[in-house]
């Protein structure tokens, strides 16, 4: 049943009858014409002011309440959503209207750097917040978040805050509601001086006090010392990677920084007496390298692991790191094949990748910060040929690839057994090869030798093609040649790990006739002495 505030009438006794009659006439007219009374926001405000806090049940009829508004106030640090009905999704949509009588349940979450501290307004505590929208036409609820402030004091002095929580001479931590403005004041001990801030407070000797808006966790260092000249040294780590792929330390001590020890600040800061000679040392992480020194450290380039800076003034030095590029080179050799080979990489001289009994993987870490060409050179052992695959292709002795910062490329290098085809009898014929090997030779012309590697097991068909009156007088060699019935073709089974040598002999017609009659010939340039295999008769 709808509950509204009770209307109160204050009338003198002599006028009560007239008021009652007028009220009766008014309600009667409304009932006759079927009007709907809807209380506006302004009317509700006037009514509430006049009637106090007593509640009442409105008379029956077509009473239609207006929309009920709910607004969430959520400082930076988290989000609030309405879980049982759509409408609130804050930040973003932090105010929405709902039907009269709706109960809205709100849930708050915090970011990793904040802590949800609870509700204020219609709800309390830190659990779910349920608000029945039946009374106020506009309701406000606040989600509160807490953040940490850490202050580290270096030297003889103290730091205090205007809102409490910070008052110390060493290290202190305070928790504030997100959005709180905190003013820190540094006070040096007697006979000492305030030098500077660092961290969330900008390094500036004149910036005392320091004002902070606690929109997130913050860390502040404050420096005090003797009344002598001091100089600051700031080290920063420019990098596209977080955390930085390296750190920097100093001698004398003071600098020890990386991207994660400063609440997200990319670097660190220390002060030394004027004239101090500070040696900075770069420490790349695994798979990273120092590209160069920046700022006042450019005097240390070309880069070495250390950089020496004289503090005759405030100095700022950057150490730029980069992830190494990676080349994975795999050299392959069939275990049953005796010969293999070696590959070298021009950026890593003196570190060859040589075949072993089985496949071997060589991983090279390359210091590359900008696109750079890297060349690999392969040298096969006698009796083997080479073939590149993966990021490289072909059978040339070199392969050049372009590497980028942190890039990874994989290369397979095969050292293979091969087919040797000797064609004898200059000008008297040729042989065709199918399929082609590596290199892709399709025709081998007499007098000549063709060498091809085959990556996979399979048949290779050699076909004799006599020319200029020549006669092919059979196939020979140690390659296990299977000759066709007409003696035109020879089929060789190429097996990984095994070399095959095939000889094809061409003679002139007269030489072929003499060979047929006497077994000798004087018209061929053939120097092969191997015994012809099956079907060793002439091919015309």
Ordered domains of the chain (ranges, CATH): 4-56 (no CATH), 68-146 (2.60.40), 231-323 (2.60.40), 325-416 (2.60.40), 419-539 (2.60.40)
pLDDT at 215 over 50: yes
How would residue 292 be classed by pLDDT, with cut points 50, 70 and 90? very high
How would residue 513 be classed by pLDDT, with cut points 50, 70 and 90? low
Contacts of 40 (CB under 8 A, 6+ apart): 66
Give the pLDDT confidence of 322-379 residue by residue, as tens digits. Answer: 899 999 999 987 665 656 889 999 999 889 998 876 788 999 999 998 999 999 999 9
Give the whole-angstrom CA distance, residue 234 versus residue 293: 13
Identify the residue with better confidence: 35 or 305: 305
Backbone dihedral angles phi then psi of residue 32, each to the nearest 5 degrees: -70, -45
How would residue 62 be classed by pLDDT, with cut points 50, 70 and 90? low
How would residue 63 be classed by pLDDT, with cut points 50, 70 and 90? low
**Pairing state of beta strands 500-508 and 418-424?**
parallel
Check: pTM over 0.85? Answer yes or no: no
Nearest Cα neighbor of 202 from 234, 164, 167 is 234
Number of Cα atoms under 13 Å in the Cβ half of residue 224: 21
Give the pLDDT confidence of 87-133 residue by residue, as tens digits. Answer: 999 987 789 999 988 999 999 998 877 888 899 889 989 899 999 99
Query: Which H helix or E strand runs over 513?
Result: helix 509-518
């Amino acid at each position: 049943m709808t509950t509204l505030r009770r209307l109160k009438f204050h009338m003198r006794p002599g006028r009560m009858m007239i008021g009652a009659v007028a009220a009766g006439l008014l309600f009667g007219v409304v009932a006759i014409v079927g009007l709907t009374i809807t209380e506006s926001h302004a009317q509700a405000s006037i009514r509430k002011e006049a009637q106090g806090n007593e509640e009442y049940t409105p008379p029956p009829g077509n009473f239609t309440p207006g929309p009920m508004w709910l607004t969430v106030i959520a400082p930076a640090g988290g989000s609030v959503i309405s879980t049982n009905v759509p409408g609130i999704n804050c930040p973003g949509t932090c105010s929405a209207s709902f039907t009269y009588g709706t109960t809205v349940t709100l849930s708050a979450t915090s970011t990793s750097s904040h802590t949800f501290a609870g509700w204020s307004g219609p709800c309390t505590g830190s659990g779910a917040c349920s608000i029945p929208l039946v009374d106020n036409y506009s309701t406000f609820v606040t989600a509160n978040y807490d953040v940490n402030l850490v202050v580290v004091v270096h030297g003889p002095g103290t730091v205090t805050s205007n809102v409490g929580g910070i008052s110390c001479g060493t290290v202190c931590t305070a928790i504030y509601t997100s959005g709180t403005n905190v003013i820190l004041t540094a006070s040096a001990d007697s006979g000492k001086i305030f030098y500077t801030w660092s961290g969330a407070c900008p390094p500036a000797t004149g910036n005392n006090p320091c004002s902070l808006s606690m929109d997130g966790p913050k860390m502040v260092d404050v420096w005090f010392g003797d009344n002598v000249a001091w100089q600051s040294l700031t080290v920063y780590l420019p990098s596209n990677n977080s955390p930085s792929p390296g750190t920097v330390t100093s001698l004398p001590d003071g600098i020890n920084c990386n991207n994660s020890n400063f609440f997200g600040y990319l670097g660190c800061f220390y002060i030394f007496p004027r004239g101090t000679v500070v040696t900075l040392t770069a420490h790349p992480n695994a798979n990273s390298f120092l590209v160069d020194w920046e700022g006042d450290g450019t005097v240390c380039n070309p880069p070495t692991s250390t950089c020496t800076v004289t503090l005759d003034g405030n100095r700022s030095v950057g150490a730029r790191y980069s992830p190494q590029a990676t080349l994975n080179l795999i050299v392959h050799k069939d275990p049953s094949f005796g010969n293999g080979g070696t590959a070298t990489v021009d950026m890593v001289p003196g570190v060859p990748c040589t075949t072993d009994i089985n496949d071997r993987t060589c991983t090279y870490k390359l210091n590359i910060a900008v696109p750079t060409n890297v060349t690999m050179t392969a040298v096969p052992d006698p009796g083997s040929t080479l073939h590149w695959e993966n990021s490289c292709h072909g059978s040339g002795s070199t392969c050049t690839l372009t590497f980028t910062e942190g890039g990874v490329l994989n290369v397979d290098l095969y050292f293979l057994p091969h087919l040797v085809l000797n064609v004898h009898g200059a000008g008297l014929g040729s042989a065709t090869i199918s399929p082609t090997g590596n290199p892709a030779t399709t025709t081998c012309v007499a007098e000549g030798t063709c060498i091809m590697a085959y990556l996979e097991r399979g048949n290779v068909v050699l076909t004799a093609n006599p020319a200029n009156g020549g006669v092919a007088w059979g196939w020979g060699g140690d390659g296990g040649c299977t000759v066709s019935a007409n003696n035109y073709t020879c089929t060789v089974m190429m097996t990984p790990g095994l070399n095959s040598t095939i000889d094809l002999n061409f003679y002139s017609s007269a030489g072929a006739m003499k060979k047929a009659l006497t077994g000798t010939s004087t018209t061929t340039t053939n120097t092969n002495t191997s015994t012809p295999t099956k079907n060793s008769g002439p091919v015309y």
